[in-house]
Amino acid sequence: MNFNKIKDAEARHYMPVFVRDNIALDRGEGNFLFDTAGNKYLDFVAGIATNILGYNHPQLTEAVCAQVKKLMHVSNHYYTEVQSRYIKRLCEASGFSRVFLCNSGAEANECAIKLARKIFKNRGVYKKILSSEGAFHGRTLATLTVTDNANQHEQYAPLPVGFDTFKYNDFDDFRTKLTDDIGAVMIETIQGERGVRPFDNDFLVNAYVLCKSKGVLFIVDEVQTGMGRTGKLFSFEHFGIQPDIITAGKGIAGGIPMGACLATEEAGTAFAIGDHGSTFGGNALACAAADKVLEILTDGGLLKSSAAVGEYLGNALAHFSKYDFITDIRGMGLMRGFQLSEKIPAQTFETKLRERGFLVNVAGNNTVRLVPPLTITASEIDGFIAALDEICATTCVM
């Protein structure tokens, strides 16, 4: 099918919810993608922080193909060895005791919200959940409610009740909003969709300590920041805190749809039989992929090497602070972003980089977001930095 036929099928049949770049991707190899016209791109999008092993990774490909030939899916009414092996590895690596496997980060966050509410119910109280302005936690009705998007809220009202918000990175406002009717706090350590916007270390630590002193559940959304993205398996590890519940998705299975809600023993045993479920969640194929991804991250040393490469990327990007139209450079590990002046649309940089063979995407606050595969190399980053420098050198603010 040629490109025009691909676009025609999309226009005629797909619900009009996506803005597509004007390319059709055909295959991937290593950290590169190829379109239907044969053009090659170094990928700094990675399916939005999802394809953490790049494309056609030999170990992941072998594990997935072997599992396809053996067993892809059965009901969760039955045990499977591959799921049992994986949940044991995941809990041991993360430090949590309990896990629920699902199909996406949004579902993982939905599970976390339901789990928190079940904990409240078991205690015989009604409590609300507090989240941050600027947050993005998903597109289900409940996760949309804890996502700060006024337009979406208006489109899909009435939304579920029982949620409140505090000002981003403002501890005084957080402390004010953490009233006695709040039972849980849900937070991202770095707001990816809002432009790779991190919370300060002091805010996160102080918010955590305050929650613990009041018996408030602390939930960390690790959907975008987890699975080695920031240089640790999960980003909360950078701050010396131990959440009650975390959620994971995106890169957890290297591109196979999967999500996970992890909890401490106390929090994770609040559900009873029948309280939650999923048809496809944690099926054999997804677990085989996720198990291999986690093995490569931990036993294979990718977590350590990607942390070093993430630092290399951060140091290289710091050079661009000399350009007045780059107003901020943010991030951690292999999750970085640079914000542009309002006079220069970030989409302009996205287009110019694509023309030079690099895929990036735009997040909030006019920010170019960089979330490449964790397998990206320093030499590949050098090529990107050279192209970015060339674009910056020829860019002027009118």
Contacts (Cβ under 8 Å, ≥6 apart) of 249: 104, 105, 106, 107, 108, 223, 226, 258, 259, 260
In 3D space, the residue among 373, 354, 367 whose CA is nearest the CA of residue 192 turns out to be 367
Question: Considering the domain boundaries, does residue 69 fall inside one?
Answer: yes
Averaged pLDDT, 85-107:
98
pLDDT of residue 397: 54
Structure tokens at 33: 């993608």
CB atoms within 10 A of CB 24: 17
Instruction: Convert the pLDDT of each residue in 113-126 to its tens digit.
Output: 999 999 999 999 99
Is 50 exceeded by the pLDDT of residue 147?
Answer: yes
127 confidence band (pLDDT: 50, 70, 90): very high
| Domain housing 130 | 58-267+277-298
Is 70 exceeded by the pLDDT of residue 362?
Answer: yes
DSSP letters for 69-89: HH-----TTS--HHHHHHHHH
Averaged pLDDT, 255-265:
98
Question: Considering the domain boundaries, does residue 345 fall inside one?
Answer: no
395 confidence band (pLDDT: 50, 70, 90): confident
pLDDT of residue 1: 78
Question: Considering the domain boundaries, does residue 349 fall inside one?
Answer: no
Averaged pLDDT, 148-163:
94
Name beta bridge partners: 231. Answer: none
The proportion of the chain whose per-residue pLDDT surpasses 70, expressed as a percent, equals 99
Scan for tokens 């193909």, then name that residue.
65
* Cα dihedral 114/201/337/217 (nearest 10): 0
Instruction: Convert the pLDDT of each residue in 19-47 to its tens digit.
Output: 899 999 999 999 999 999 999 999 999 99
Domains identified in the chain, total number: 1
**By CB neighbour count within 10 A (0-12 exposed, 13-18 middle, 19+ buried), where does 96 fall?**
buried
Q: Report d(CA 28, CA 395) in Å as an integer.
A: 31
The CATH number given to whatever domain includes residue 70 is 3.40.640.10
Phi, psi torsion values for 335, nearest 5 degrees: -130, 95
369 confidence band (pLDDT: 50, 70, 90): very high
Mean pLDDT of the chain: 97
Question: Considering the domain boundaries, does residue 48 fall inside one?
Answer: no
CA Rg value for the chain = 21
Which of residues 200 and 397 earns the better pLDDT score?
Answer: 200
Q: Report d(CA 35, CA 165) in Å as an integer.
A: 42
Instruction: Convert the pLDDT of each residue in 287-332 to its tens digit.
Output: 999 999 999 999 999 999 999 999 999 999 999 999 999 999 999 9
pLDDT of residue 398: 44
Question: Considering the domain boundaries, does residue 323 fall inside one?
Answer: no
Question: Considering the domain boundaries, does residue 160 fall inside one?
Answer: yes
Q: What's the angle, vertex CA 270, arms to CA 265 and CA 273, rounded to 5?
A: 115
Q: Report d(CA 223, CA 249) in Å as an integer.
A: 5
Question: Considering the domain boundaries, does residue 17 fall inside one?
Answer: no
Q: Report d(CA 23, CA 180) in Å as an integer.
A: 52
Q: Report d(CA 135, CA 165) in Å as an integer.
A: 9
Question: Considering the domain boundaries, does residue 321 fall inside one?
Answer: no
Q: Report d(CA 131, CA 152) in Å as an integer.
A: 16
pTM of the model: 0.97
The proportion of the chain whose per-residue pLDDT surpasses 90, expressed as a percent, equals 98
Instruction: Convert the pLDDT of each residue in 157-179 to its tens digit.
Output: 999 999 999 999 999 999 999 99
